[in-house]
């Protein structure tokens, strides 16, 4: 087997990608991503030794966060970037070891992750391809399953931590946990029960990181508010910005002011329109297109340059590469990378000048979509919502947060939303919303039937809303609320969102369109028995089960 990856919902044949990723990730990149994780484990081993002696390595915290983020599905396909990053990691690890030994800390019997070295790019590639680095190095399938579940959780955690960090917000406890979790995945003495406990603890830090990011986003840009977002176009050249990083968007908007270049959002950047701080930019026109997987066609008609701030990148057509720019953790061979200076400032002038040489976007749809129902906005409507529940006008809420993806089986979510009774409301977040946010499902006493809280991390808002309703209705258990969970997942941010919901005590979540293949039968059994997690069936039967 040349590669093995089973971290996302599209893993080949329901077992794992072994020749090339369904996502387009080639074998070399898959193996380098494994080595990236391997390197991060080694750095965490050394960082843990430091922590015992009260010595902190801030640089390692940030390096680990970014390295994890780079390995998320569809974030980075650039083998050269991984090689450079791994070299940087090896140098950092040795620097950390030297500092520890200078301070009298004795480092004995370190794991291979913390001792291996490579003198050349070829040696790094050889190490990446070697047995013992990747997922299958753990032979027991249950231990492997739990270890990977934890690793995918911390990947999602790292992504959210990095967005918060970009806005100047950090939480050292999250970094400590990430290091602890990575080291735990090397520990052969841990029992399955201990790994299950660590999985739940991952969920706890998942809640913390989403709260941190929520505070960072709302602190910088205000609380999301009800907003109509234009989905049509204007006649100016434009930049399309995709991904999840609001700081990148802010810098782009500032730099495009007065340039004659418009800015549109794509995919997960749509919720940026809900923040008050971005409303002052009169060139921030609207959202172009749909979820990530439709980007090939949509980039064709957009005509202008595209800036990726995070996942999800689909390997572009060759003729689009020269107008695709990446930044942050993202990368794709041949695409230009915009790097921040030491103060975090990014110069997007090249992207803006590029836009001026190209045509305005071609219109693919017209109209508006409504969103902005994060916790503060919903609390502002609390009286109305509570009244609608008490009067029976709203019978049930359906949390349908998560990811979208290209599989045909995801039509389920469109059909499910369309068939929901008229006295139900969908609470959504993440790119899953594109499956039903243009269906015009109407409203209940002025409350739209699709309430979009924002990006996938804003699932935190949905949890805050649920906890608030529990308080208002004086219930003992979050599961007594008239809220059902039918969540769609694709990549590792959805894993941390799921673990966070489990940590908060949410039971009976339906997870689809398929259950993660990285859950071994025994681990899946634990999740089913302890939390009632179950897969989707067909829409009619599932509706019956939810409403019956
Ligand atoms: Fe396959 Fe998903 Fe891994 Fe890509 S990220 S290689 S599609 S399992
Ligand atoms: Fe979507 Fe990639 Fe997960 Fe942030 S953009 S939710 S899939």
Q: Is-contact 118 127, C-beta < 8 A?
A: yes
Smallest-distance ligand from the CA of 292: 2
Ligand 2 pocket check for 268: Cβ under 6 Å? yes
User: Is 491 annotated as ligand-binding?
Assistant: yes
Ligand 2 pocket check for 311: Cβ under 6 Å? yes
| SS3 label, residue 190 | coil
Ligand 2 pocket check for 160: Cβ under 6 Å? no
The pLDDT, as a whole number, for residue 1 is 62
Say if residue 472 is exposed, middle or buried (CB neighbours under 10 Å; 0-12, 13-18, 19+).
Answer: middle
List b or e across 264-287, with b for residues whose CB sees 16 or more CB atoms inside 10 angstroms. bbbbbbbbbbbbeebeebebbbbb
Ligand 1 pocket check for 17: Cβ under 6 Å? yes
Query: Quick one: DSSP state of residue 475?
Result: -
Smallest-distance ligand from the CA of 15: 1
Ligand 1 pocket check for 11: Cβ under 6 Å? yes
| SS3 label, residue 457 | helix
pTM for this one?
Answer: 0.98
Smallest-distance ligand from the CA of 12: 1
Report helix angle 492-503 to 141-166, nearest 10: 100
Ligand 2 pocket check for 456: Cβ under 6 Å? yes
Smallest-distance ligand from the CA of 294: 2
Of 4, 8, 490, the residue with max ligand 1 atoms within 8 A of its CB, to mutate for a pocket test, comes to 8
User: Which atom of ligand 1 is nearest the CA belonging to 8?
Assistant: 2
Which residues have a Cβ under 8 Å from the Cβ of 421 and sit 6 or more positions away?
395, 547
The pLDDT, as a whole number, for residue 247 is 98
Ligand 2 pocket check for 493: Cβ under 6 Å? yes
The pLDDT, as a whole number, for residue 146 is 98
Q: Do domains 1-137 and 381-547 have the same CATH topology?
A: no
User: Which atom of ligand 2 is nearest the CA belonging to 310?
Assistant: 5
Tell me which fold the domain 1-137 belongs to: Substrate Binding Domain Of Dnak; Chain:A; Domain 2 (1.20.1270)
Q: Is-contact 62 342, C-beta < 8 A?
A: no
Q: What distances in angstroms separate CA 115 from CA 53, 81, 121, 179, 210, one per listed residue?
A: 20, 22, 17, 17, 34
User: Is 544 annotated as ligand-binding?
Assistant: no
CATH number of the structural domain 381-547? 3.40.50.2030
Give me the tens of pLDDT residue by residue for the chain, a chain 548 residues long.
699 999 999 999 999 999 999 999 999 999 999 999 999 999 999 999 999 999 999 999 999 999 999 999 999 999 999 999 999 999 999 999 999 999 999 999 999 999 999 999 999 999 999 989 999 999 999 999 999 999 999 999 999 999 999 999 999 999 999 999 999 999 999 999 999 999 999 999 999 999 999 999 999 999 999 999 999 999 999 999 999 999 999 999 999 999 999 999 999 999 999 999 999 999 999 999 999 999 999 999 999 999 999 999 999 999 999 999 999 999 999 999 999 999 999 999 999 999 999 999 999 999 999 999 999 999 999 999 999 999 999 999 999 999 999 999 999 999 999 999 999 999 999 999 999 999 999 999 999 999 999 999 999 999 999 999 999 999 999 999 999 999 999 999 999 999 999 999 999 999 999 999 999 999 999 999 999 999 999 999 999 999 98
Ligand 2 pocket check for 431: Cβ under 6 Å? yes
User: Is 403 annotated as ligand-binding?
Assistant: yes
User: Is 493 annotated as ligand-binding?
Assistant: yes
Per domain, the residue ranges of the chain are: 1-137, 227-356, 381-547
Ligand 2 pocket check for 490: Cβ under 6 Å? yes
Return the CATH architecture of domain 227-356: 3-Layer(aba) Sandwich (3.40)
Distance CA 171, CA 15 (A): 36
Ligand 1: residue whose CA is nearest its atom 3:
5
Distance CA 484, CA 547 (A): 9
Question: pLDDT tens, 285-296?
Answer: 999 999 999 999
The pLDDT, as a whole number, for residue 131 is 87
User: Is 297 annotated as ligand-binding?
Assistant: no
User: Is 5 annotated as ligand-binding?
Assistant: yes
Distance CA 510, CA 517 (A): 15
């Amino acid at each position: 087997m040349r590669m093995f990856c089973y971290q996302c919902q599209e893993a080949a044949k329901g077992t794992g990608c072994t020749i090339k990723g369904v996502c387009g990730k080639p074998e070399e990149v898959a193996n380098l991503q494994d080595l990236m994780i391997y390197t991060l484990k080694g750095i965490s081993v050394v960082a843990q030794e430091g922590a015992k002696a009260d010595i902190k390595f801030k640089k390692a915290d940030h390096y680990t966060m970014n390295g994890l983020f780079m390995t998320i599905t569809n974030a980075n396909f650039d083998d050269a970037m991984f090689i450079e990053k791994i070299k940087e990691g090896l140098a950092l690890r040795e620097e950390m070891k030297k500092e520890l030994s200078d301070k009298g800390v004795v480092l004995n019997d370190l794991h291979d992750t913390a001792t291996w070295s490579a003198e050349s790019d070829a040696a790094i590639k050889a190490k990446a391809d070697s047995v013992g680095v990747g997922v299958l190095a753990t032979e027991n399938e249950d231990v492997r399953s739990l270890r990977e579940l934890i690793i995918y959780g911390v990947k999602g955690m790292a992504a959210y931590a990095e967005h918060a960090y970009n806005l100047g917000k950090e939480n050292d406890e999250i970094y400590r946990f990430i290091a602890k979790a990575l080291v735990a995945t090397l520990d052969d003495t841990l029992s399955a029960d201990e790994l299950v406990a660590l999985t739940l603890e991952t969920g706890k830090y998942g809640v913390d990181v989403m709260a941190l990011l929520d505070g960072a986003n709302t602190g910088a840009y205000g609380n999301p508010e009800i907003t109509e977002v234009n989905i049509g176009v204007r006649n100016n050249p434009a930049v399309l910005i995709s991904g999840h990083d609001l700081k990148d968007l802010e810098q782009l908007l500032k730099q495009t002011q007065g340039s004659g270049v418009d800015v549109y959002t794509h995919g997960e950047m749509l919720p940026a329109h809900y923040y008050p701080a971005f409303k002052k930019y009169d060139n921030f026109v609207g959202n172009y297109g749909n979820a990530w997987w439709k980007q090939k066609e949509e980039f064709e008609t957009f005509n202008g340059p595209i800036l990726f701030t995070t996942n999800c990148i689909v390997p572009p057509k060759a003729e689009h590469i020269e107008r695709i720019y990446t930044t942050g953790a993202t990368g794709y061979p041949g695409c230009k990378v915009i790097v921040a200076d030491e103060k975090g400032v990014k110069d997007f002038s090249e992207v803006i000048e590029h836009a001026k040489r190209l045509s305005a976007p071609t219109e693919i749809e017209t109209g508006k979509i409504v969103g902005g129902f994060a916790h503060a906005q919903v609390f502002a409507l609390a009286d109305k919502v509570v009244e609608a529940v008490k009067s029976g006008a709203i019978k049930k809420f359906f949390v349908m947060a998560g990811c979208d993806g290209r599989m045909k089986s995801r039509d389920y979510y469109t059909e499910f939303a369309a068939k929901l009774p008229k006295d139900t409301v969908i609470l959504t977040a993440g790119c899953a919303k594109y499956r039903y946010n243009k269906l015009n499902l109407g409203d209940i006493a002025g409350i739209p039937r699709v309430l979009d809280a924002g990006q996938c991390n804003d699932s935190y808002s949905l949890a805050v809303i649920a906890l608030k309703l529990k308080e208002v209705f004086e219930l003992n258990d979050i599961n007594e609320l008239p809220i059902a969970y039918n969540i769609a997942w694709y990549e590792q941010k959805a894993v941390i969102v799921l673990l966070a919901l489990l940590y908060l005590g949410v039971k009976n979540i339906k997870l689809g369109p398929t259950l993660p293949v990285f859950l071994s039968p025994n681990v899946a059994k634990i999740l089913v028995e302890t939390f009632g997690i179950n897969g989707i069936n067909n829409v009619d039967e599932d509706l019956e089960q939810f409403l019956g």
